Amino acid sequence: MADIMTNKKLIRWIIYIAGLFLIVMAIGLICLSIGPTFIPIKDIIAALKSGKSSINYDIIFDIRLPRIILGFAVGGALSLAGVILQGMFKNPLVEPYTLGISGGGALGVCLGIVLGLIQKIGYISLPLCGFSGAILVILLVYFLSIKKGILKIQGLLLTGVMISFISSSLIMLVMAVSNVTNLQGIIFWTMGSLEQPHWLLIKTMVFISLIGLFVSYLFSVNLNAFSLGEEEAHHLGVDTERTKKFLFILSSLLTGVAVSVSGIIGFVGLAVPHFVRRFVGSDHRILLASSFLCGAGFLIICDTIARTIIAPMELPVGVITGILGGSLFVYFLSKKPSI
């Protein structure tokens, strides 16, 4: 009887994830057609089949498709990191940016802009600066929070929050002494953007986000055990210290890479896991993949709104995710008991 119930649940989960994947693909196809120049879906299919350079082909492959693919990877990575951290901390308010990783990445990019590294090194300089800043914060938070080989969860959270405040203050200091050109670049970057024309960075982001999803499933059962409490998880045979360290590093790397490529895009890692948890429950075996796909679809939609709502001008995608994500978060909290 138990085996039958397990098989039914597994089939239901597979159908659900397959359905979400198809929905995300449909969202991507629809968003390919939306923009200052509307391209019907039949023309998109014709352009893909022909493979010949044309106005529609250039718009699709040089402007819209890179943003949609990057939105898929970044949205999925941030949502996945949010699920992992909320499960590890047992705190519904924890998100990928709580631990100061985004602040470190933003500070690194600010310094890169002020030092003019993009003129000296090229397009790769700002992502490298952002990732370097994020890695430094990850290492700092980790070593300040570990005592005698034990990673203190509360210490990790408090240290991350304080590092985030310090990074924000240093960013404001850099902005205060920057010229107008650098200031504009810093402000736009800190509000997030998927306008990344370099396929190397896009492919790297996609690869890391999918690897992160695969690796997270190795710890899905451990995350379920953590929902009972750290001591209960230990009694159930979970190596809690090893799990905490690995999950912290995994979620931090996902966040650091996402921030370095696209800037700070808030509320995806906070709001999406709450939204998904309402519908699929708290079992991480379904929650991880569902949150990844919903985060990907959510960010693709937000970016499409950001680049079309006041066309030909463009809004930072972080503005849209903050408004929509915050509104959804408040709505669901008001409708049902808090998780």
In a domain, 39, yes or no: yes
What tens digit of pLDDT does each residue of 41-76 get? Answer: 887 777 777 766 778 778 888 888 999 999 999 999
Q: Is residue 116 part of a domain?
A: yes
Selection from 260, 315, 265 nearest residue 106 by Cα: 260
pLDDT band for position 338 (cuts 50, 70, 90): very low
pLDDT at residue 339 above 50? no
Helix, strand, or coil here: 40? coil
Q: Report the distance separating Cα 277 and Cα 2, nearest Å.
A: 24
pLDDT in tens, 228-268: 777 787 787 888 888 888 998 899 889 989 988 888 888 89
pLDDT digit string (tens) for 81-114?
999 998 888 877 788 888 888 888 888 888 888 8
For the chain, the domain total comes to 1
Dihedral pair phi/psi, residue 169, rounded to 5° = -65, -40
DSSP 61: I
Asked if residue 14 belongs to a domain, the reply is no
Give the domain range for residue 245.
23-335
In a domain, 263, yes or no: yes
Query: Could you tell me if residue 7 is inside a domain?
Result: no
Residue 151: strand pairing partners: 146
Q: Is residue 264 part of a domain?
A: yes
Find, among 28, 50, 32, the residue nearest to 41 by Cα: 32
215: exposed, middle or buried (C-beta count within 10 Å: 0-12, 13-18, 19+)?
middle
- Residue 119 in this model has a pLDDT that exceeds 80: no
Helix (H, G, I), strand (E, B) or coil at 173: helix
Query: Computed from CA positions of residues 176, 178, 183, 187, in that sequence, does the dihedral angle turn out positive or negative?
Result: negative
* Terminal-residue alpha carbon distance, the chain: 31
Long-range contacts at 7-10 (CB < 8 A, ≥ 24 apart): none
| Type of residue numbered 197 | P
CA angle 14, 17, 19 (to 5 degrees): 105
Give the Å distances, CA to CA, from 304 to 29, 68, 71, 206: 12, 9, 10, 19
CATH number of the domain that residue 265 is part of? 1.10.3470.10
Phi and psi of 115, rounded to 5°? -80, -5
Packing angle, helices 268-280 and 65-89, rounded to 10: 70
Cβ within 8 Å of residue 229, ≥6 positions away: 90
User: Which one of 71-80, 107-116, 121-130, 315-324 scores highest in mean pLDDT?
Assistant: 71-80
In a domain, 74, yes or no: yes
pLDDT at residue 182 above 90? no
Identify whether 70 is part of a domain.
yes
pLDDT band at 280 (very low <50, low <70, confident <90, very high): confident
Which ranges in the chain belong to alpha helices (H)? 2-33, 41-50, 55-59, 65-89, 101-114, 117-120, 125-145, 153-176, 180-190, 199-216, 220-226, 230-235, 240-262, 268-280, 284-308, 317-335
Contact 32, 64 (CB under 8 A): yes
Degrees, nearest 5: CA angle 295-311-205: 30
Q: ∠ CA 247-253-257 to the nearest 5 degrees?
A: 155
Q: Which single residue is written with the structure tokens 């699920």?
A: 83
Whether 65 and 72 have beta carbons less than 8 Å apart is answered as: no
